[in-house]
Amino acid sequence: MTDIPIRLLLADDHPVVRAGLRAVLETEPGLAVVAEAATAEAAVARAAEGDIDVVLMDLQFGKGMNGAEATAAITARTGAPRVLIVTTYDSDADVLPAIEAGATGYLLKDAPPEDLAAAVRTAAAGRTTLAPAVADRLMNRLRTPGTALTRRETEVLALVADGLSNQAIGHRLHLTEATVKSHLSRIYTKLGVDSRTAAVATATDLGFIRR
């Protein structure tokens, strides 16, 4: 039944972005926007109703659950729709949690309309589409695993960048202060630096964290 459209849910907290996505996608044959969600929680609830094929998910929402958490909640269900991340962020701190959460694809909001439509169709078919910058980053991690930060190291360094102390980072991530220091030591070694400031600067330049 090729005449059945791919049913889409747009999840983004900015109405203008949702309107833009709708305008692009509704001109494409075989695609139908059937719902919108302004919060990650609303996206999870709507996706569970069973009439969505692909969720276009932003990563950052104002408050509450983020896009990666919503992706994990959506994809955990049997018969779940595919989730295509559509965001402005391409740092490791954004990409890795989303991919680990079960996202089928990862696209940036500056992608051409034809790329967006193609990514939706690819996701609906269960195949992966990655923005070129994201694909390059993942390939680099595979080629140089010794220098890539783990997800936990990325989380620690992102909190360092936010100005948190080791004690505060430990509290936030439910780690001992000694464990935080151990993570920082490995981060310094991987990045070839000897200070928190240098680690943040280098990791930002390499795209490991977002500033």
- pLDDT at position 2: 53
CA proximity to 86, closest of 48, 126, 115? 115
- pLDDT at position 8: 98
The rounded distance, in Å, linking the Cα atoms of 199 and 98 is 24
Q: Are residues 65 and 119 in the same domain?
A: yes
The rounded distance, in Å, linking the Cα atoms of 196 and 42 is 38
Supply the range of the domain harboring residue 177: 151-206
Task: Inform me whether the pLDDT recorded for 144 exceeds 80.
Answer: no
Q: Are residues 38 and 124 in the same domain?
A: yes
Q: Are residues 73 and 132 in the same domain?
A: yes
The tokens of 14 are what? 């900015």
Single pTM value for the model: 0.74
> Band of the pLDDT at 4, cuts 50, 70, 90?
confident
Q: Are residues 10 and 114 in the same domain?
A: yes
The tokens of 71 are what? 């992706």
Residue 1 lies in a domain: no
Residue 146 lies in a domain: no
Q: How far is CA 45 from CA 30, 70, 124, in A?
A: 24, 10, 19
Residue 110 lies in a domain: yes
The tokens of 48 are what? 């569970």
Q: Are residues 61 and 162 in the same domain?
A: no
Helix (H/G/I), strand (E/B), else coil: 87: strand
Q: Are residues 127 and 161 in the same domain?
A: no
CATH of the domain at 53: 3.40.50.2300
Residues 27-80: tens digit of each pLDDT: 999 999 999 999 999 999 999 999 999 999 999 998 889 999 999 999 999 899
Amino acid at 134: V
Q: Are residues 19 and 105 in the same domain?
A: yes
Residues 159-206: tens digit of each pLDDT: 999 999 999 999 999 999 999 999 999 999 988 899 999 999 988 888
Q: Are residues 80 and 171 in the same domain?
A: no
Phi and psi, residue 33, nearest 5° = -85, 115
Q: Are residues 10 and 85 in the same domain?
A: yes
